[in-house]
Structure 1
Amino acid sequence: MSGRSIHAVPLSDDAALAAWNAVLAHGESHGRERYATPWALPEMLERLRGPEHGMVYEAWALTEDDVVRASALVEYRTTDNVERIDATVVVDPDHRGRGLGSALLDAMVERTRALGRTRLGADAWWPMEAGTDGVGTLGADFLRARGFALGSSEILRVLTLPTPDAVLDRLAADAATHHADYRIVAFVGPVPDGFAAGWATLAGSLEAEAPTGGIEIEAADHGVEGLRTEEALMVRQGRTPHRAVAVDAAGDVVAYTELVTTAHEPERAYQWGTLVRADHRGHRLGMAVKVAAQRLLQQHAPGVREVFTWNAEENGPMIAVNEALGFRAVERAGWFERRLD
């Protein structure tokens, strides 16, 4: 079509990025408004412009006569997982069925090759009743038809707050009988210096430790410097982490979790990483840190009414913890990957 262009959006152009993000958010939310989690523009601008240790983000747009019809968010790492990039490709719902998504996705394939990489990741979402593979749903079928294979299926779960103190007390007390030799510490904001190195190592291993199906992910420890860079970014985005750690007798961080609130969605919180170090599992430390963080969240952010979390379908232990806390399954998502020649 005359006037069609696919191009990277300049990260210095506020107006162009606002138009790009509006399509990205609208496309992600269309048909799933209740559970969609698009980023507010101020959060996205900070994310794109960084800095974020070891991460690069790019905004790509397909425009027709200078109007954005499809958006792609590209992210890739520079210090680990250097064979892959991830791209979220979304089309304005009013312009679907015209080949725009295919054209933009093809451009992302070429961008992957231009970066010297061989693996391109993408996500899709679908209703619970569509099953673990999403066959017959728009996003999953779109990716499969273009050479992507489903690596891992996840479930979005939502917890309605507040959870009664009596429930948290009972869960904490039951877990405590299994970890008498550990200390649980909860805090709002930056990780205390004494825990920072251990937190960074454990959090960096999360994606490699979590079930990812056929998708290979390397651990990514960016150290204390990377942690502090991330925390500074969160402040600029208007986000506040509510965190908890389990510390062993030697003073090492062996489990962690964080619940994150944002000024742009005051009634929602997001469960980010939770992980127990492999050699310390079996002591119900996952439950202990999650209860501690949730208690802190309810104390410091009483206006939050929902917590969103995602778990791989095969992550039985963490699913059991979340269900005991009261999370309910509401939607599925798939993590797809295409390997390039």
Structure 2
Amino acid sequence: MDIRALDDTALADDVVMRDFYDVNRRAQLHGRLHAPFWEFGEFLGAFRSTDSGERQELFAAYDGDRMVGNAVLWSFLLDNTDKAWFHLSVDVPERRRGIGRALAQRLEQTAKDDDRSLILADAILPFDDRECHAHQRFAAACGYELSNYEVVRHLPLPVPDEQIQEWIDEAAPRHAGFTVQTFVGAVPDDLVESLCVLLGQLAVDAPTGAVDFDEEAVTPQRYAEMVATTAAMGRARYETVALTPDRQVVAQSTLAMSLEQSTKVYQWGTFVHREHRGHKLGLATKAVNLRAVQTMRGDLTLVITQNAETNNYMVSINERMGFRPIEVAAEFVKRL
């Protein structure tokens, strides 16, 4: 078994990346065949896009010419430079051969050589088997500690428009003076700076378990790269924001949906500025954004979101809107 770093030539090779995607898909859907999973084109768009705030490194484990496992390592470049994050997959028939452990050790050494002192990973676990699942045991065997649980929740669509209006009406009296607007793609240039400030606060204010994060450096360049990545994935990005009278973004909710086959919608974030909480801006932006995507496409079937179990405010909004818990995203950490 040979572990190879995949260079830019490999990244540009559709055959190599198809193998990478297929191994990842089989591994991630094992035991959860009906779970949402991105299409190959969405995967390519994401992995071939640029983020000036992170370095992406791909690794693949081969048995001869056959890819049997793979991993992605993301290293933060503008903030939290003591940390790196990875995602690891081993093809189902190839498990219990030491491939996962070998990949993890390669990633740890790569991070250590880059002067990273913390390495993080995640795994999806069944909601009612989080403590004893094989992924949990594998992480512990490799020396990782549980850092955080995020609960993955689904909202079946369509939601009746009368129900959405009820949520909007419920929130409206609490945010008089604020304006709620929706944009498809990038927000107008005059909103980018305050939106970037808001997005950067998420890493600090949202619950992150046993690991503390510094505020994220979301620059206008990185924001433009985020928008470009969404387009490269063949997805539409819906951004609903709450604005103060002087047009400062103080709350946001982002939904992304495929422009082609998939009928799934991904909730990429909802966040309210720490100085403007208590005005039901989270509920307002989520409800208005949901109405926008349903108006655009009448065939949508599901919204997928996840939040830390301890994020009581956002969990209460999701429960209010009818999201139901499906599985758990476990986050693990190891000190190098």
Question: TM > 0.5 between the two?
Answer: yes
Q: Which runs of 5+ in 2 are unaligned?
A: none
CA shift for structure 1 position 207: 2.2
Once structures 1 and 2 are overlaid, which stretch shifts more, 7-16 or 58-67?
7-16
Q: How does 1:241-280 map to 2 (within 5 A)?
A: 241-263=237-259, 265-280=261-276
Task: Give the distance between the partners of 1:51 and 1:125, measured in 2 at CA.
Answer: 26
Contact 1:21 1:71 in 2 (8 A): no
Q: Which residue of 2 aligns with 1:35?
A: 35
Once structures 1 and 2 are overlaid, which stretch shifts more, 197-206 or 173-182?
197-206
Could you say if the C-alpha distance between residues 220 and 261 of structure 1 is closer, same or farther in structure 2, counting changes exceeding 3 Å? same
CA shift for structure 1 position 93: 0.5
Q: Which residue of 2 aligns with 1:8?
A: 5
Task: Give the distance between the partners of 2:125 and 2:73, measured in 1 at CA.
Answer: 21
Residue among 159, 164, 168 paired with 1:168: 164
Contact 1:70 1:90 in 2 (8 A): yes
Task: Give the distance between the partners of 2:58 and 2:175, measured in 1 at CA.
Answer: 46
Q: How does 1:63-82 map to 2 (within 5 A)?
A: 63-82=62-81
Listed one character per residue, the Cα deviations across residues 205-230 of structure 1 (whole Å, up to 9, x for unaligned) are: 22222101111212223322211122
2:15 is the counterpart of 1:18: no
Contact 1:148 1:338 in 2 (8 A): yes
Q: How does 1:190-339 map to 2 (within 5 A)?
A: 190-263=186-259, 265-339=261-335
- What SS class does the counterpart of residue 116 from structure 2 fall into? coil
Residue among 136, 140, 145 paired with 1:144: 140
CA shift for structure 1 position 149: 0.9
CA shift for structure 1 position 190: 1.3
Task: Give the distance between the partners of 1:262 and 1:56, measured in 2 at CA.
Answer: 26
Listed one character per residue, the Cα deviations across residues 53-92 of structure 1 (whole Å, up to 9, x for unaligned) are: 2122121011111211111011122111111111111110
Task: Give the distance between the partners of 1:265 and 1:95, measured in 2 at CA.
Answer: 31
Q: Which residue of 1 aligns with 2:124?
A: 125
Contact 2:46 2:232 in 1 (8 A): no
CA shift for structure 1 position 248: 1.4
Could you say if the C-alpha distance between residues 202 and 122 of structure 1 is closer, same or farther in structure 2, counting changes exceeding 3 Å? same
TM-score, normalization: structure 2?
Answer: 0.95
Look up the equivalent residue of 1:338 and give its one-letter code. K
TM-score, normalization: structure 1?
Answer: 0.94
CA shift for structure 1 position 246: 0.6
Contact 2:177 2:244 in 1 (8 A): yes
Task: Give the distance between the partners of 2:74 and 2:48, measured in 1 at CA.
Answer: 12
Task: Give the distance between the partners of 2:109 and 2:83, measured in 1 at CA.
Answer: 13
Task: Give the distance between the partners of 1:250 and 1:175, measured in 2 at CA.
Answer: 21
Task: Give the distance between the partners of 2:96 and 2:249, measured in 1 at CA.
Answer: 50
Look up the equivalent residue of 1:111 and give its one-letter code. T
2:134 is the counterpart of 1:135: no
CA shift for structure 1 position 337: 0.6
Task: Give the distance between the partners of 1:222 and 1:213, measured in 2 at CA.
Answer: 22
Contact 1:23 1:69 in 2 (8 A): yes
Task: Give the distance between the partners of 1:198 and 1:171, measured in 2 at CA.
Answer: 26
CA shift for structure 1 position 40: 3.0
2:153 is the counterpart of 1:154: no
Q: Which residue of 2 aligns with 1:90?
A: 89
- What SS class does the counterpart of residue 178 from structure 1 fall into? helix
Look up the equivalent residue of 1:9 and give its one-letter code. L
CA shift for structure 1 position 36: 4.7
Task: Give the distance between the partners of 1:47 and 1:163, measured in 2 at CA.
Answer: 29
Task: Give the distance between the partners of 1:81 and 1:44, measured in 2 at CA.
Answer: 26
CA shift for structure 1 position 283: 0.6
Task: Give the distance between the partners of 2:297 and 2:190, measured in 1 at CA.
Answer: 25
Once structures 1 and 2 are overlaid, which stretch shifts more, 80-89 or 49-58?
49-58
Contact 2:69 2:91 in 1 (8 A): yes
Look up the equivalent residue of 1:64 and give its one-letter code. D
Q: Which runs of 5+ in 1 are unaligned?
A: none
Contact 1:9 1:17 in 2 (8 A): no
Task: Give the distance between the partners of 2:159 and 2:52, measured in 1 at CA.
Answer: 36
Look up the equivalent residue of 1:175 and give its one-letter code. A
Task: Give the distance between the partners of 2:217 and 2:201, measured in 1 at CA.
Answer: 7
Task: Give the distance between the partners of 1:125 and 1:73, measured in 2 at CA.
Answer: 16
CA shift for structure 1 position 166: 0.9
Q: Which residue of 2 aligns with 1:102?
A: 101
Identity level (%): 30
